[in-house]
Amino acid sequence: MVAKPDHIEFADGTTIPILYEDRAVLVIDKPAGWMLAPDSWNRTSRNLQRTLERSVKAGDWWARSRQLKFIRYVHRLDAGTTGILLLVKSPGAIHPYSRLFVGRHVEKRYLAVVRGVPAQTTWTCELPVARHRRLRGVMKVDLREGKPAETRFRVLEAGPDRSLIEAQPLTGRTHQIRLHLAAAGYPILGDELYSTRPHLVQPKAAGKGSTPPSRNQQSILAQPARTRLDVPVASAATPSDTVPALALRAVFLAYTDPFTGKKVQILAPFDAFVRAYGFKPESVPVLEWGLTQSERASACA
């Protein structure tokens, strides 16, 4: 019996590692530059969902070896974000897995490299997030009309001018981590959108009848704008050609299988990502996430 390939391969030679698979899902290590929901037709050549569907329909070996007839994402990663992306393998799995994400029953951890060194080693941001009314695909912090958003942050390691951050989003708003870090004054390296547009992350005071900012929100908004976003991230040197332009990687996902009740934990390799920015992989606290040392070693080998 021929073994199933451990990666997806498209006709153009693009390969995408498969991190985990069972009867219902296929979890991949999404590369940078692929969109799941393109904002305009001129970007459809990098539409990951469409390319996956075409590959399945064409009977490419990775899909044919699995007798795969269907593939669909149930949550999203930004085009520039790399790492764990869960895909379902049948229409019947869409609702159960979508409900996990919408109901906040999935634990997610990201690694981000930011400009600057936070004064606090841990903090939580609860600034609400809304879509920009005029700019397609752009979000903003909005105290009046934004939806609730919450992200926990922890500094794992700090250098002279940048820091390695663990981000744990408790809600799933678009661009949530990017907005919350930029609002705190520590934009992600390579995030040209939110590092150079302070009006998107520095909201005006809430109007009459609006919910007043929390103490956490007040402390973030009180930071001087000059010290928060004074240097465009675009000027930062990229450590390696292999490093994505946006220094944000989804590295851990945990949930309870809605069909079997089994606890599933998935870890994406992160050693190369961390080292490329001058940090130590040992700084990433995977054992605190519930993984064993052997699981960490096998995932990042």
DSSP 150-210: -EEEEEEEE-SSEEEEEEEESS--TTHHHHHHHHTT-PBTT-HHHHS-GGGTSPPPP-TTS
Which sign, positive or negative, has the C-alpha torsion 124, 130, 131, 132?
negative
Identify the CA nearest to 268 among candidates 118, 111, 129. 111
Residue-level pLDDT at 259: 97
Q: Which residues contact 10 (CB under 8 A, 6 or more apart)?
A: 51, 55, 60
Task: Please state the pTM of the whole predicted model.
Answer: 0.84
In angstroms, rounded to a whole number, what is the distance separating the alpha carbons of residues 56 and 50? 10
Residue-level pLDDT at 296: 65
Q: Which residues of the chain have pLDDT under 50?
A: 41, 205-218, 220-242
Residue-level pLDDT at 209: 38
Residue 7 pairs in a beta bridge with 17
| 78 a catalytic residue | yes
Task: Check: CB of residue 181 under 8 Å from CB of residue 173.
Answer: no
Q: Which amino acid is at 254?
A: A
Q: Which amino acid is at 278?
A: G
Residue-level pLDDT at 38: 62
Residue-level pLDDT at 5: 93
The active-site residue, picked from 29, 60, 78, 191, is 78
Residue-level pLDDT at 117: 95
Does 3.30.2350.10 match the CATH number of domain 110-235? yes
Residue-level pLDDT at 111: 99
Which element (helix H / strand E) includes 30? strand 25-30
Residue 30 pairs in a beta bridge with 83
Which regions of the chain carry the CATH code 3.30.2350.10? Answer: 110-235
Q: Is 118 helix (H, G, I), strand (E, B) or coil?
A: coil
